[in-house]
Structure 1
Amino acid sequence: MRTEIYQWMKNLAFFHVLTTAVLHILPDKRYEQYIRLFMGLLLALMICTPVFALVGKSSELLNGFQKYYGEEEQARMENEAEGIRKTFLREAYKKELEKQIRRLLSDAGIFSEEISGVAAEITAEKKLLVKINLKAAITESQKEAVKNGLERICGLEETQYQILDSGNGMEGVGNPVASGNSSSGGGTSGIPENK
């Protein structure tokens, strides 16, 4: 009986040292409360083990704990792996789609110096949105070729992409639309001129 008590006390001391070490090597302190909770539950189990040993139920309790902990850990790891896989596939899909769109633009006669950006975004509703920004204006035939290619090659619907060029909505600093008009005062800024 004395050796069992001595072994139990050694286990408690080792557990305390292990808990302290784990808490000190945590890379991020926001997980500390979860580690403390988990270690507290294990400590309660270790303290109760001699009582259950007297009753004869300690092996059943430990086996049940190991079984449920193993199942929970396996489920957590599977969920984490699934999330990583989905993120990887989403990013790979976006890169491939951007590559296809750049090739499609090149085939339509729109070259890389005319493209300011191609961005594919997958929203929270798992809807794909593509935005193509062009530096220069393009012809209607080029725009139709790009639209047909986006629908035929990339499988995008008309609501899933947007083509912006300098002729349809990308006003800059020097354009009259961005500067205001002269009818709102005397100057283009809307502030009356002092004469």
Structure 2
Amino acid sequence: MGLLQVSALPGEQLSAHDLSTLHELASVVAAAVVIGRGAADLEEMRNLLRSDPDASLELLAHLQGEVEAATVSVRSLSHHLLPPILDELGLVAALAELASRFDGGGLTVAVESDRFDDLDPRIAAAAYGIASEVLSNVSRHARADHCRIVARRHPAGSLLLVVADDGTGRDDDALPGVGTHSMRERADEQGGSLDVRDRIGGGTEVIATLPLVVSHG
């Protein structure tokens, strides 16, 4: 798509974490370029529809391929860009900070969590990402008054994450959206599982089971 050039401030240097973040940021920049090109291509396609229908179909196929590639890049980025507090203070502190950002405006968010010392960063990232996705969905769609995040050590040797709300629940004919697929991918990548179901008494609960020890990678 292009070249992203970054220079450190005088007297400073880029850390390994900075370089990793910039590498992932490139995906967002590339996606923005694709969207910009897409807008221009769409305008061209509108003109071609009148003069050359076959060429317009070819352009549409090309545009669809670029958009799909950009979507994959952005979703990959969302899996890697995580708050510094997760690295610095761990999962418990990160979940508390996440809850505080959504708490208010009619929604009360509470967190109950065991300690997870020396938790593999990939597991912590997956758990945080799933909780973040659920809270985002609850705040936008559930019309809930309360939401609770529970992270426990399961006796079987796994991390059990439950995010439950008392909102309107799921529509009977609702299809899994991008958010649900993203959460399920996060769990699957770590050898875990994810279940979305109706909550007894009303609302929805998302249950993720993640291994405490990563067996691959």
TM-score of the two chains, using structure 2 as the length reference: 0.27
Structure with the higher strand share, 1 or 2? 2
Structure with the higher helix share, 1 or 2? 1
TM-score of the two chains, using structure 1 as the length reference: 0.30
Higher relative contact order (CA 8 A, sep 6+): 2
